[in-house]
């Protein structure tokens, strides 16, 4: 059985993330990790805050804090929110860690030794007003491809095209806003991707056939357009320093590595952080990354991150000539939009994760986002759609089933699971149906098809409601008490099954459902087909309680309040449309 290494794109340190960031990386990675753990796999889920680069420095400047203090503060704030969403990272690290600095510098040394890093004199934008060279992200202007007027010098947020600062129309400093810019000569390190292009292409040909079309097409597009040498150092005060033993002149000038050079290496750095965080445990970080032939590595990210993870980072790994583990499967996501306009961290547009948890519990958001995950196309959040999904799927289909089964049974049979008669034709039919739906659910999760998995999970919940409507124990009890007891006992076993298999999507609610039954020896981690057919985990006589309402319906008054706070369609009118 393979060990599963799972990473999600590192969230930038510059502020609390929006729902689009969550659904495109960390949440699906968590769902998949939870599922694999329940199936008995050895899983390591690693993430971290991405703390280097221009966004960190600019955000710290706006906050009036030293960048190191700002990053430490924001790391804790982000981690608290991810805990609130139930994200079960094995470790949530920091790209500014000593471990990442060490490994990033090691990568640079190996690439240099192998002839894949070259020092070059280049002409770079210098801001007269700021008296400094400007890294790509410190320059903003109009994108020449889509006309977006807030494009950065490295990439357009709107159309995702990779840019050079000189591509921008009417460029200006992101620090001062000054357009007094000139080009001067300076020295930087370049990763010679052109020398690695053939090897990267051969590797992609080998592994990308099973990737989603979104991921493979973006990678091949970059290769088709030509893999160019790329500057991997910047003029910043905060970052992984260029090692002085190799490049003393650049180190003396304070050059640091480009954030997209060190950020993917932090997956390895964070694994080393994880190992060293528990010195009393036998944690071998290197076995997950170095000569790790028994590891299956899956990455989760939004489409704007795909090029760097499928081309630049693999080129970096290949160029070290060391056996670092490369990704096996890249699960790329499209955009989750807000009424057709893009969510934006920098422009505070849309619903942010901290605000989401203030108004509703995490499971509402987790289920909605996965049921509407932007896998094949961009999808659009609206409060109307959100309330419809919550009310129909969570409140009516699952929550109401749990409440009415347990409440009715307690009212008519007391606080223990009733015995009743032996299972009959209806129960046999239900068991077969549940086994089939469970297999479908498992298949979609194995294939990382989250919308389909959510639909299969909803179908499992619906099957219980159909059974309950067919048997109608509220009528059955008038003429056949043992038959009604059987119906309720079967339905309670469905609740237990739902608790087990729903855990990847709605962990808190799953825990509440499971805790309703007094089963101290309950160690079930998953459900086999045979167990699904039998529906017999919760025996007659088991004590139970009725949990509080699992999912409260969203009312029209709630909707009005949410629209007032966050805006509706009008909130997206000024937003740039997704590509």
Q: Which residues are annotated as a binding site for Zn(2+)?
A: 143, 146, 156, 159
Closest to 319 measured CA to CA, from 505, 234, 192? 192
- Dihedral of CA 134/137/142/145: which sign? positive
For residues 99 and 115, what is the distance between their CA atoms, to the nearest angstrom? 25
Interstrand relation of 379-381 and 336-338 (parallel, antiparallel or unpaired): parallel
Give residue 382's Cα distance to chain centre: 20
Residue 354: other Cβ atoms inside 10 A: 16
Name the DSSP letter for residue 241. Answer: B
HSE value, Cβ hemisphere, 13 Å, CA-based, for 166: 8
Please give the full DSSP string across 153-185, using - where no structure is assigned: SSB-TTT--B--GGGSEEEEETTT----EEEEE
Secondary structure of 527-562 in HEC code, one letter for each residue = CCHHHHHHCCCCCCCCEECCCCCCCCCCCHHHHHHH
Tokens of 320: 């070290």
Element (H, E) at 573: none
Q: Is 484 helix (H, G, I), strand (E, B) or coil?
A: helix
Residue 204: other Cβ atoms inside 10 A: 19
Asked if 36 and 76 count as a contact pair (C-beta separation under 8 A), the reply is no
420: left (phi over 0), alpha (psi -120 to 50) or beta: left
Q: Which residues contact 256 (CB under 8 A, 6 or more apart)?
A: 52, 233, 234, 236, 238, 239, 240, 241, 242
Q: Which amino acids are annotated as binding site for ATP, given as ranges?
A: 345
228: left (phi over 0), alpha (psi -120 to 50) or beta: beta
Length of the chain equals 579
Burial of 441 (0-12, 13-18, 19+ CB in 10 A): buried
Q: At what angle do helices 450-471 and 362-371 cross, to 10 degrees?
A: 110
Q: Which residues, in sequence order, are bridge partners of residue 413? A: none
Q: Which amino acids are annotated as binding site, given as ranges?
A: 143, 146, 156, 159, 345
């Amino acid at each position: 059985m393979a060990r599963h290494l799972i990473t999600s794109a590192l969230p930038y340190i510059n502020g609390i993330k929006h729902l689009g960031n969550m659904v495109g990386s960390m949440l699906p990675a968590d769902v998949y990790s939870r599922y694999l753990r329940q199936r008995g796999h050895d899983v390591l889920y690693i993430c971290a805050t991405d703390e280097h680069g221009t966004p960190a420095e600019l955000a710290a400047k706006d906050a009036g804090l030293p960048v190191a203090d700002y990053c430490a503060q924001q790391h804790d704030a982000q981690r608290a929110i991810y805990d609130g969403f139930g994200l079960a990272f094995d470790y949530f690290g920091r790209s500014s860690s000593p471990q990442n600095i060490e490994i990033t510098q090691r990568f640079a040394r190996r690439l240099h030794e192998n002839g894949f890093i070259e020092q070059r004199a280049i002409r770079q934008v210098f801001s007269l007003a700021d008296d400094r060279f400007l890294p790509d992200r410190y320059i903003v202007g109009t994108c020449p491809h889509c006309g977006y007027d807030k494009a950065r010098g490295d990439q357009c947020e709107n159309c995702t095209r990779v840019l050079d600062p000189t591509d921008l129309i009417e460029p200006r400093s992101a620090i001062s806003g000054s357009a007094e810019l000139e080009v001067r000569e300076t020295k930087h390190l370049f990763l010679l991707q052109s020398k690695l292009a053939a090897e990267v292409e051969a590797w992609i040909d080998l592994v990308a056939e099973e990737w989603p079309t979104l991921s493979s097409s973006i990678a091949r597009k970059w290769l088709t357009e030509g893999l160019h040498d790329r500057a991997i150092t910047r003029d910043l005060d905060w970052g992984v320093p260029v090692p002085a033993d190799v490049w003393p002149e650049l180190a003396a000038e304070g050059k640091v590595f480009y954030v997209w050079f060190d950020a993917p290496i932090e997956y390895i750095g964070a694994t080393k952080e994880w190992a060293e965080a528990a010195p009393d445990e036998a944690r071998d970080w290197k076995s997950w990354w170095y000569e790790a032939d028994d590891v299956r590595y899956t990455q989760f990210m939004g489409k704007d991150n795909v090029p760097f993870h499928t081309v630049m980072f693999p080129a970096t790994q290949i160029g070290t000539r060391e056996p670092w583990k490369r990704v096996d499967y890249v699960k790329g996501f499209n955009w989750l939009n807000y009424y057709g306009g893009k969510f934006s961290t920098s422009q505070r547009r849309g619903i942010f994760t901290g605000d989401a948890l203030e108004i509703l519990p995490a499971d509402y958001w987790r289920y909605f986002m996965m049921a509407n995950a932007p896998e094949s196309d961009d999808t659009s959040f609206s409060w109307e759609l959100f309330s419809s999904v919550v009310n129909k799927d969570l409140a009516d289909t699952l929550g109401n089933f749990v409440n009415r089964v347990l409440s009715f049974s307690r009212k008519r049979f007391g606080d223990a699971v009733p015995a009743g008669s032996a299972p009959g034709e209806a129960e046999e039919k239900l068991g077969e149906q549940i086994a089939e739906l469970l297999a479908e659910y498992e298949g979609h999760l194995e294939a990382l098809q989250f919308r389909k998995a959510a639909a299969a999970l909803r179908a499992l919940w619906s099957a219980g409601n159909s059974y309950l409507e067919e048997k109608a124990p509220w009528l059955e009890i008038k003429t056949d008490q043992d038959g009604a007891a059987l119906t309720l006992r079967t339905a309670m076993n469905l609740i237990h099954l739902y608790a087990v298999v729903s855990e990847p999507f709605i962990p808190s609610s799953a825990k509440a459902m499971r805790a309703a039954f007094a089963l101290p020896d309950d160690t079930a981690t998953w459900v086999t087909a045979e167990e699904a057919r039998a529906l017999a985990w919760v025996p007659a006589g088991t004590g139970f309680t009725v949990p509080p309402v699992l999912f409260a319906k969203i009312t029209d008054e709630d909707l009005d309040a949410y629209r007032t706070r966050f805006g509706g369609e009008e909130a997206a009118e000024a937003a740039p449309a997704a590509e």
